Structure 1
Amino acid sequence: MDDDAVQVQALADWLGAHAVSVFFVTLIILLLVTATALVFFRRYSGRIVGGNLSRTMLLSICLVVGAGMLVATAAVFAEMMEVFQADEEFGLFDSRLTETLSKELSATTLRVFGTLTHLGDPITLTVLVVVVGILLLARRQTAMAFGWVVACAGGAVLNRALKQIFERVRPVHDHGFAVADGYSFPSGHTSGSVVVYGMLAYLCMRLLPSRWHVPAVLLAVALAFSTGWSRVFLQVHWASDVIAGFASGLAWLTVCVVAMEVARRHSRPG
């Protein structure tokens, strides 16, 4: 075994042994970074739009960035098809981390994440999509209701298509705290949570008073992040499945939000 493989396995062992601590530290850092970015955006976005860049130019740039994220994600996925084998670094890391988690995590931890993971269940997300869609229609927010449903449904279709392309087998999980079948890559719970909770945060920013904007986004980030990594803790997904779920979900979410903003701004009179 070469030095790179030894280092990869050592990293997986360390992360598996300190999984819960790493999870909470990473979540706190992610929330702090998100909050800082939101404050920066709210403070300077008006200057950017009102300065050298018009709204149309800014939205065009955002569309290019969103499309670029989708293309980059697809390129990364194509490359990953070659490195899923057990003797490659991705495969070594995934298998070793899952093996370590199965030894290190207590029944209590598995039970907690087994409950948390239901936030990303297809039935949970579907009910949420239907309820929010009905509420938007009741408020006569037809365009937002349409965008909400298309974004959420499109994310689900995209994930299913990717699973069929990669046909990756799940890790063995026989602890009884979660059961999953079907193909593994990318994680549908993860990408679905990113898209649905991310879109819900976007709707909150459009419809609720400004004091709710930051809490809504932070809650969406926490829910999506926690749901995604619960799949690794429960050993129903490889770590790279969840990372891919975050990447594909975020890329699709970006495109959908920007598209809705373009439609919203271009529908304004004058």
Structure 2
Amino acid sequence: MDDDAARVLAWAEWLGSHAVPVFSVVLVALLLVATMVLVVARRYGGRMVVGHLSRTVLLSICLVVGAGMLMAMAAVFAEMMEVFQADEEIGLFDSRLTETLSRELSASTLRVFGTLTHLGDPITLTLLVVVIAVLLLVRRQVALAFGWAVACAGGAVLNRVLKQIFERVRPEHDHGFAVADGYSFPSGHTSGAVVVYGMLAYLCIRLLPSRWHVPAVLLATAFAFSTGWSRVFLQVHWASDVVAGFASGLSWLTVCIVAMEIAQRNPRT
């Protein structure tokens, strides 16, 4: 075994042995970053100059850029697939981390993350999408309801397409705290949570008083991050599946929010 592989295995072993403290520290750091991003966006976002382009042109540009982002992401995923084998670095990291977690995590920890993972269950997210869509329509927020539905449904379709393209097998798991089938890459729970809770935070920012904006963003960040890494803790996904789920979910979420902002702020057609 070469030095690089040995370092990868050692890092995976350490991370698996300190999984809960590392998760907690990273979560707190992400909440701080999310707060800072929201503060900066509120201070400077309104000063963004889009020139004299029409809304149609701006939306077209957004879609083209978004398609480019998704194509680039798919290309990166394709490159990743070449190093998913058990004797390559990503494959070594994934395998050793999963093995260490299965050995180190207690039943009580698995039970906690087995509960958290339901935040990203398809039935949970679907019910949330339907309820929010109905509430928006009742409030006559037709454009927001349409954008919400397209963003959430589109994210689900994108994840399903990616799973069918890559056809990665899940890690074995028999602890009984979670059951998952189907292909593994990228994590659907993760990307779904990022898109749905991210869009919900965006709607809160658009519709609720400013005092609710920070709590909405923090809750969305905590829900999405906890859902994603619960899949690794429960050993129903490889770590790289979850990283890819965050990447695909954030890419799609960004495209959808930017498109909705352009449609809202630029009345010219």
Provide TM-score, normalisation by structure 1. Answer: 0.93
Counterpart residue identity of residue 214, structure 1:
V
The residue that corresponds to 2:111 in the other structure is 111
Deviation at 1:48? 4.1
Are 1:83 and 2:83 an aligned pair?
yes
Deviation at 1:44? 2.2
Return the alpha-carbon distance in structure 2 between the equivalents of residues 168 and 47 of structure 1.
Answer: 44
Superposed CA deviations along residues 113-141 of structure 1, whole A, max 9, x for unmatched, are 00000000000000000000000000011
Return the alpha-carbon distance in structure 2 between the equivalents of residues 18 and 180 of structure 1.
Answer: 25
The residue that corresponds to 2:210 in the other structure is 210
- 1:185-264 to structure 2, matched below 5 A, reads 185-264=185-264
The residue that corresponds to 2:142 in the other structure is 142
Identity, in percent, stands at: 80
Name stretches of at least 5 consecutive residues in structure 2 with no aligned partner.
none
Superposed CA deviations along residues 246-265 of structure 1, whole A, max 9, x for unmatched, are 00000011111111112222
Counterpart residue identity of residue 239, structure 1:
A
* SS of match in other structure, 1:7: helix
Superposed CA deviations along residues 203-233 of structure 1, whole A, max 9, x for unmatched, are 1111111111121111101100000000000
Return the alpha-carbon distance in structure 1 between the equivalents of residues 72 and 29 of structure 2.
Answer: 25
Kept in 2, the 8 Å contact 1:163–1:184? The answer is: yes
Kept in 1, the 8 Å contact 2:151–2:195? The answer is: yes
Moved more, 22-31 or 36-45: 36-45
Deviation at 1:7? 0.3
Return the alpha-carbon distance in structure 2 between the equivalents of residues 259 and 87 of structure 1.
Answer: 42
Superposed CA deviations along residues 52-108 of structure 1, whole A, max 9, x for unmatched, are x53859x67866764443233112101012111000001000000000000000000
Q: How many residues align?
A: 266
Distance 1:55 1:173, change over 3 A: farther
Return the alpha-carbon distance in structure 1 between the equivalents of residues 21 and 53 of structure 2.
Answer: 44
Q: CA RMSD in A?
A: 1.9
- 1:112-127 to structure 2, matched below 5 A, reads 112-127=112-127
Return the alpha-carbon distance in structure 2 between the equivalents of residues 65 and 26 of structure 1.
Answer: 30
Of 51, 56, 75, the match for 1:54: 51
* SS of match in other structure, 1:183: coil
Return the alpha-carbon distance in structure 1 between the equivalents of residues 84 and 52 of structure 2.
Answer: 43
Kept in 1, the 8 Å contact 2:62–2:259? The answer is: no
Return the alpha-carbon distance in structure 1 between the equivalents of residues 147 and 5 of structure 2.
Answer: 45
The residue that corresponds to 1:37 in the other structure is 37
* SS of match in other structure, 1:119: helix
Counterpart residue identity of residue 77, structure 1:
F
Superposed CA deviations along residues 164-211 of structure 1, whole A, max 9, x for unmatched, are 000000000000000000000000000000000001011111111111
Deviation at 1:19? 0.1
* SS of match in other structure, 2:29: helix
Distance 1:244 1:55, change over 3 A: farther
Are 1:15 and 2:15 an aligned pair?
yes
Return the alpha-carbon distance in structure 2 between the equivalents of residues 191 and 198 of structure 1.
Answer: 10
Return the alpha-carbon distance in structure 2 between the equivalents of residues 169 and 225 of structure 1.
Answer: 23
Kept in 2, the 8 Å contact 1:172–1:236? The answer is: yes
The residue that corresponds to 2:93 in the other structure is 93
Kept in 2, the 8 Å contact 1:170–1:236? The answer is: yes
Return the alpha-carbon distance in structure 2 between the equivalents of residues 110 and 177 of structure 1.
Answer: 7
The residue that corresponds to 1:28 in the other structure is 28
Provide TM-score, normalisation by structure 2. Answer: 0.93
Return the alpha-carbon distance in structure 1 between the equivalents of residues 155 and 127 of structure 2.
Answer: 15
Kept in 2, the 8 Å contact 1:63–1:258? The answer is: no
Kept in 1, the 8 Å contact 2:195–2:249? The answer is: yes
Distance 1:64 1:35, change over 3 A: farther
Moved more, 59-68 or 74-83: 59-68
